[in-house]
Amino acid sequence: MKKIRQPIIAVLGHVDHGKTTMLDRIRKTNVASKEAGGITQHIGATEVPIEVVKEIAGPLLSLWKGEIKLPGLLFIDTPGHEAFTSLRARGGSLADLAILIIDVNEGFQPQTIESIEILKKYKTPFIVAANKIDRIKGWKINENEPFLVNFKKQDQRAQQELETKLWEVIGKFYEMGFQANRFDRVQDFTKELAIVPISAKYGIGIAELLVLIAGLAQRYLEQKLKIEVEGPAKGTILEVREEIGLGTTIDVIVYDGTLRKDDTIVVGGKDEAIVTKIRALLKPKPLDEIRDPRFRFDQVDEVAAAAGIKIAAPGLDGALAGSPVIAARSEEDVEKAKQEILSQIERIKIESGEI
Ligand code: GDP
């Protein structure tokens, strides 16, 4: 059975421009309605179900014609371009999409340019969050308001100042070969980069940001996001971690198929492919249910892409962050997965100039 999975989203940008604050804001974007359900905390990632996007977006959904079929959005919790480039999948980045965040008052900085170059190289679609609009002189702050609602309430001088700052950013993008525009003035999202003015600190514009990223994913990545949900899982290691009582575990983002607790997995190490059997699949307990820090996880029987999960298994000491994890359900699959992982290790060594 095929289904469309959640796009995996990375956040990039210059230091102090607000990556962490924005991710925190998204994590807190819960809506009052019980029906909508809430944000789900995964291992190393945060999921915003599509119902939440729809609920907070309200009339903004008309920005996107047609029905949104995505189940949600999965944000990688580790921001920055180091994570973006080291987490690989299918020869590219694990992230399907990115949000590039720029402090609109500071404009382009060295890591902004670096991030754009990386996104270009990986051909990753992205949108731009022009952050810290609340710091514009005289800006009226209304927490969690959509940008377009908030913007209308500003006096002309503040509006004009934002426009000037945005034009500077648009000019810089032009120099780097991109046509960019404020999102509500974009005619064709395939040709123009959309800029969403936000205040990560006060939640302004987060609604538009989520709607746009969902729309963009569905429009341009639908084929890539269509997966055979019952197939053996593929994933990427976020982190190798020692856990009390569990030994060495790996935190993994699964981007394809379903991982089952009785699967054999083949895992990338520094120079080898490790073959092991899963001992447990673990997800974080809701924060309010953790009474004893030794029992922070719940066991699950299986997990379907896209998801972040902790895997406990013997022999994971040599596992390497950024490497692939492939589930195998037959001897033949194990061999194939080993070959795939070994050739990837080789490729990375060549690219990094090691051999
Ligand atoms: P990162 O290095 O990109 O992850 O940046 P942080 O999220 O750590 O933010 C750096 C600083 O900018 C912190 O002191 C934040 O509180 C502040 N900051 C982030 N977003 C905003 C914003 O929208 N408005 C204001 N006024 N400050 C912000």
Query: Ligand 1 atom 11: the closest Cα is on which residue?
Result: 16
pLDDT at 65: 67
pLDDT at 90: 80
Q: Is 323 in the pocket of ligand 1 (CB under 6 A)?
A: no
Give the 3-state secondary structure percentages of the chain, helix then strand then coil, rounded to 5: 35, 30, 35
Tens digit of each residue's pLDDT (9 = 90 or more) over 166-222: 999 999 999 999 999 999 999 988 899 999 999 999 999 999 999 999 988 988 898
Tens digit of each residue's pLDDT (9 = 90 or more) over 46-90: 999 998 888 888 777 776 666 778 999 999 999 999 889 888 888
Region 246-255: what's the mean pLDDT? Answer: 96
Query: Ligand 1 atom 2: the closest Cα is on which residue?
Result: 16
3-state secondary structure of 308: strand
Cβ burial of 245 (10 Å; 0-12, 13-18, 19+) is exposed
Q: CA 85 to CA 93: how far, in whole Å?
A: 6
Tens digit of each residue's pLDDT (9 = 90 or more) over 27-46: 888 765 555 568 888 999 99
pLDDT at 35: 55
Calculate what percentage of the chain has a pLDDT beyond 90: 75
- Within 10 A of 286 (CB to CB), how many other CB atoms are there? 11
Query: Ligand 1 atom 24: the closest Cα is on which residue?
Result: 132
Q: Contact 297/226 with Cβ under 8 angstroms? A: no
From residue 11, give the alpha-carbon distance in Å to each of 78, 129, 194, 312. Answer: 8, 10, 15, 28
Q: Candidates 105, 136, 201: which one to mutate for ligand 1, based on the most atoms within 8 Å of Cβ?
A: 201
Q: Contact 27/73 with Cβ under 8 angstroms? A: no
Q: Contact 344/322 with Cβ under 8 angstroms? A: no
Q: Is 322 in the pocket of ligand 1 (CB under 6 A)?
A: no
Tens digit of each residue's pLDDT (9 = 90 or more) over 280-337: 999 998 766 767 767 789 999 999 999 999 999 999 999 999 999 999 999 999 999 9
The DSSP code for 154 is S
What pairs with residue 235 in β-bridges? 254, 325
How many angstroms does the Cα of residue 22 sit away from the middle of ligand 1? 8
- Angle at 240 (CA atoms; ends 236, 246), nearest 5 degrees: 120
How many angstroms does the Cα of residue 18 sit away from the middle of ligand 1? 4
- The strand pair at 302-304 and 234-243 is best described as unpaired
